[in-house]
Amino acid sequence: MTEVSGGAGQRLRLLSYNIQAGIATPSFRHYLTGSWKHLLPHAKREQTLQRIAAMLHEFDIVGLQEADSGSLRTGDINLTEYLARGAGFPYWSDQTNRNIGRFAQHSIGLLSRYKPNCVEGHRLPGPPGRGALCAHFDTIDETDDQSLVLIILHLALGRRARGLQLDYLREQTATYPNLIVMGDLNLRADSDQMNELIRRTTLRPPRADLATFPSWKPRRAIDHILVSETLDIAGMRVLPHQVSDHLPLCMDVSLPPTLRLAAG
């Protein structure tokens, strides 16, 4: 992918991160020794969340996957809200996609330094448990009908279900000129499903060299930030922040000169 710099518009720092419910996973063996942490509270989860919050300070908009909206395993802490407060974000929103009662509330989350005009939750097609958050950001100039739309996703592992979800994404975003899609897409950058998504939308192709999974030995580029051709990419990288089983992915983008967001 060719990166474009020098855009005259407003600069945004974006980050997408699968936080694995605040469970530290520095090696493969922790999948086995720490599996109980997915259902029960543990003393070091808050320490892990504090490490994540400290890293988030430098970003403007963050998309979280594998968060939790408050359950037994998190000590009733809403992880998106906790990270928003810890990193000083004035706006946050989340959506619970898989409700396992008292034990777990699997969710995705948005943190933002800019006030969204609205945030919509969507249930994705396929087996239950997958969803999307769609945030609309209006411009400072209220006479301008252009807006920025941000979608946070965590797509299915199975190819068929993921295909249905990608079809839904294409249909929902067809009319958005300024678009950001981010999340754990469970989709390699060079896969045929990714190529089909790029071919049938105005999204720029991802970089295949930015592997994010597993965090202790990254080999797969399955976390992505995709932007429409109206946005200039000024830089993109994977952060060496080995907490979750995924590494965070960040991107700097410049908006079109006519599109400027109001800070909170």
Query: Closest Cα to residue 181, out of 196, 166, 193?
Result: 166
Domain with 121 in it: 11-254
Say if CB 223 and CB 15 are below 8 A apart: no
Integer Cα distance of 55 and 47 in angstroms: 13
Residue 27 forms part of a structural domain: yes
Q: Lowest-confidence range among 21-30, 108-117, 216-225?
A: 21-30
Answer whether residue 93 shows pLDDT above 90: yes
Domain count of the fold of the chain: 1
The pLDDT assigned to 40 comes to 45
Higher pLDDT, 180 or 261: 180
Asked whether the CA dihedral 167, 169, 175, 179 is positive or negative, the reply is negative
Q: Region 184-202: what's the mean pLDDT?
A: 96
Residue 202, domain member (yes or no): yes
- Which of the four pLDDT bands, split at 50, 70 and 90, describes residue 36? very low
Q: Residue 264 domain-assigned?
A: no
Structural domain contains residue 259: no
Residue 261 included in any domain: no
**H or E element in which residue 79 lies:** helix 79-87
Q: Is the Cβ–Cβ distance between 132 and 180 less than 8 Å? A: no
pTM of the shown model: 0.90
E strands, 31-79, where? Answer: 61-68
What's residue 24's pLDDT? 63
Asked if the model's pLDDT at residue 29 lies above 80, the reply is no
pLDDT for 73 beyond 90: no
Residue 189 lies in a domain: yes
The CATH number of the domain where 151 resides is what? 3.60.10.10
